Amino acid sequence: MSNIVFIVNEHAGNGLGKKVWGKWKKAIDFPHTVFITERKGHATEIAKNCAESMNDLLIVGVGGDGTIHEIIVGVLSFEHVRIGIIAAGSGNDFSRTFSVFYTPKDIQEFVFRKLPTKMDIGKVQNSDTTYQFVNNAGFGFDAKVAYLANYSAWKSRLNLLRLGKLAYILYLIKELFTFKKFSFTLHNKDEVIRFDDVWFFVVCNQPYFGGGMKISPTSIPNDQLLEMTVVNKLSRWKLLFIFGTVFFGKHTKFNEVTQFQASDFNMVIHDEVFGHVDGEFTCVTDKDTVYTCSVLANAWNIANR
């Protein structure tokens, strides 16, 4: 019998995690262990500790993309661990691509079959720091809007009213008029391409970001490739229009949107720019900083429903 561990973020999705887990715990009728996260990074600690102390382990994350990201990062080096998902976040981009559990019976059927699928993960690094990403890593407009919304005093107040996404919309409109575009140089295979007047670029392991926007339509999370999308040289109003098409993956038809596929990318970011990994703020870059994005193939096991 597998060891089954639930790692629950009750604060995910403005309290949706607690509500979802409340329903699940009443329905579960098999042996399991539960951990409730208490702080940022706690899910990584719990997952790693469980992986080190238990064999034949299924960890089921209850939360949003941030919770699932933390769990996966914590068990990357453990072949005997499988990751299951119960979606309970606000964006849930992870669950748009990867298999999720809907009922306790789904979990029991997986434990009986034990047929996980290996998935890739991305890595972004400079000379000082390394981050892993399950969904995507990006720099520019989207990262700054997410940072301002998540760290705004208004966010917590709006969350109490179940209006947390309103903060994101307000800062998106603000940055639409105030964001300072930037430049970077991409070294891709034998090409060296400089991009100016850049709004943002994002490197993806799966299609979705930002709560359902299909930014990278052809991304596949286990093909040993990453896909970069660059948006530059367009007006503020056209950017707003293009954002509306991203939900359907139609933005790739515009000349101002450029895409590349590779197993790794090398970039020199020439300006101070906000960065994110799986939607979480990571840094403001220094000028002329070198970054590398690469894929770690078959890095973790997902529990298929």
pTM for the complete prediction?
0.91
Reading the chain (305 residues) residue by residue, the pLDDT tens digits are 589 999 999 999 878 999 999 999 999 999 999 999 999 999 999 999 999 999 999 999 999 999 999 999 999 989 999 999 999 987 788 888 888 999 999 999 888 877 789 999 999 999 999 999 999 999 999 999 889 877 776 666 655 556 556 667 788 888 999 999 999 999 988 899 999 999 999 999 999 987 788 999 999 999 999 999 999 999 999 998 998 899 899 999 999 999 999 999 999 999 999 999 998 999 999 999 999 999 999 999 999 87
Give residue limits of the domains in the chain.
3-115, 124-297
Of 278, 301, 280, which is closest to residue 135 (Cα–Cα)? 278
Amino acid at 125: Q
Q: Considering the domain 124-297, what is its CATH architecture?
A: Sandwich (2.60)
And the tokens for 24? 């699940």
Distances (CA, A) of 301 to 89, 136, 298: 21, 18, 8
- pLDDT at residue 205, as a whole number: 97
- pLDDT at residue 304, as a whole number: 81
Spatial neighbors of 82 by CB under 8 A, at least 6 apart, are: 57, 58, 59, 110, 114, 116, 301, 302, 303
Do 41 and 54 touch, CB atoms closer than 8 A? no
Same fold, 3-115 and 124-297: no
- pLDDT at residue 170, as a whole number: 81
Q: For residue 120, give the H/E element and its range.
A: strand 117-125
Superfamily of domain 3-115: Probable inorganic polyphosphate/atp-NAD kinase; domain 1 (3.40.50.10330)
d(CA 92, CA 209): 9
How long a stretch of residues is the chain?
Answer: 305
Do 260 and 187 touch, CB atoms closer than 8 A? no
What are the residues facing 57 on neighbouring strands?
A: 3, 81
